[in-house]
Amino acid sequence: HISLDERTGSGFVSQDLYLHGFFRASIKLPADYTAGVVVAFYMSNGDIFEKNHDEIDFEFLGNIRGKNWRIQTNIYGNGSTNVGREERYGLWFDPSEDFHQYSILWTENQIVFYVDSVPIREIKRTQEMGGDFPSKPMSLYATIWDGSGWATNGGRYGVNYKYAPYVAGFSDFVLHGCAV
């Protein structure tokens, strides 16, 4: 479990760096009013390549009670936001009621995001992308943090800490990657 309260967010990171692979976690999001709370499951090398990092991520953007949940996917290659930037999708279930599987398939030529084995987004590498396709080894992360300034309806709704702590559960990890 990872949690967010008025003092701090939290997260964890893999011990290994990976160059391509299949990565999955079963995740259960915090329930009730979670506006502004961002839960992320992602790959990044920003701690190694600060100015030209790669990133592949799922971001859950918090929720207002009674509204449908939205998920955002991103890819960055070589620090560029020209390709793969922020696509948002509505979920067809409430991810705070039970665990659901979120997966990333990353190969040399494509990235596919899955929700419960259903592909929701595919990015194929093209020659025009050049270095904008993630191609450097990355670690796997999970984090929870305060994204009040942008996450829910463009920052219209922020975190209300009277509902804290916000707790996200992670289980059933699959890290089938080429460890570097």
Catalytic annotation, residues:
55, 59
Instruction: Tell me how far apart the alpha carbons of residues 153 and 132 are, in angstroms, rounded to a whole number.
Output: 28
Helices (H) and strands (E) in the chain, counts: 0, 12
* Structure tokens belonging to residue 94: 């409430």
What is the torsional sign of CA 101, 104, 105, 110? positive
Helix (H, G, I), strand (E, B) or coil at 156: coil
Angle at 167 between CA 42 and CA 138, to 5 degrees: 15
CB 171 within 8 A of CB 14: no
CA dihedral 153, 38, 109, 103 (to 10 degrees): -120
Instruction: Please choose, from the candidates 50, 114, 43, the residue with its C-alpha nearest in 3D space to the C-alpha of residue 78.
Output: 50
